[in-house]
Amino acid sequence: MTSELILEAHDDDPDVRLDTLTTEQLDDPMLARSLLIELQRNERKAAQLRATMASVQGTYQARLDALAARERDVRQSLAIYVERNGTASFPDVGSVAIRKNKPTAKVQSDEAFAAWLIARGESALVKADQRYTFKQQARKVANDWLRETGEAPRGCDIAPESTSLVIRKAE
């Protein structure tokens, strides 16, 4: 391993540019020595930069994690407030409300859902490439069926009624 003193002594050396060297300089064994020193010096600098980057990333990741935790706390506090007091709205900052979501049909098996749609004469809502994809209207058909019959279409499960916090920022 090259001595740290040698590498530090050459820290300010300019990079060797082969396209600027004469034929004699290209054949000088000291060129190989200079290139080896530069290579190891660059490896040392890269290791130092990686260490610095890791410590900075760690610091910023900790900050991001703290912000995410605080955001969860604030959202939970807003949800409690709205559950107790109802919707809050302020023209300068926005509004917060609780939305009640009806039960919905969630596709669990693309193949079974596609077969159900086709059997109902809704084949225009199904596209088959590498896998099935469904137009937005297909989900509406499934949810309408759920509301009419109380049953999920074939290939679907029922996502139960739920609530969600709706936050709108002022524009």
Structure confidence by residue, pLDDT tens digits, 70-119: 999 999 999 999 999 999 999 999 999 999 999 999 999 988 999 999 99
The domain total for the chain is 2
| Residue 19 pLDDT grade (very low, low, confident, very high; cuts 50, 70, 90) | confident
- Residue 32 resides in a domain: yes
- What is the rounded average pLDDT for all residues in the chain? 87
Q: Which domain holds residue 65?
A: 4-69
Query: For residue 127, is it within any domain?
Result: yes
Classify residue 85: in a domain, yes or no: no
Q: What is the Cα–Cα distance from 36 to 38, expressed in whole angstroms?
A: 5
65 & 102 share domain: no
Q: Cβ(165)–Cβ(87) under 8 Å?
A: no
Q: DSSP letter at 161?
A: P
Identify whether residues 59 and 16 lie together within a single domain: yes
pLDDT score for 15? 75
- Do 65 and 103 lie in one domain? The reply is no
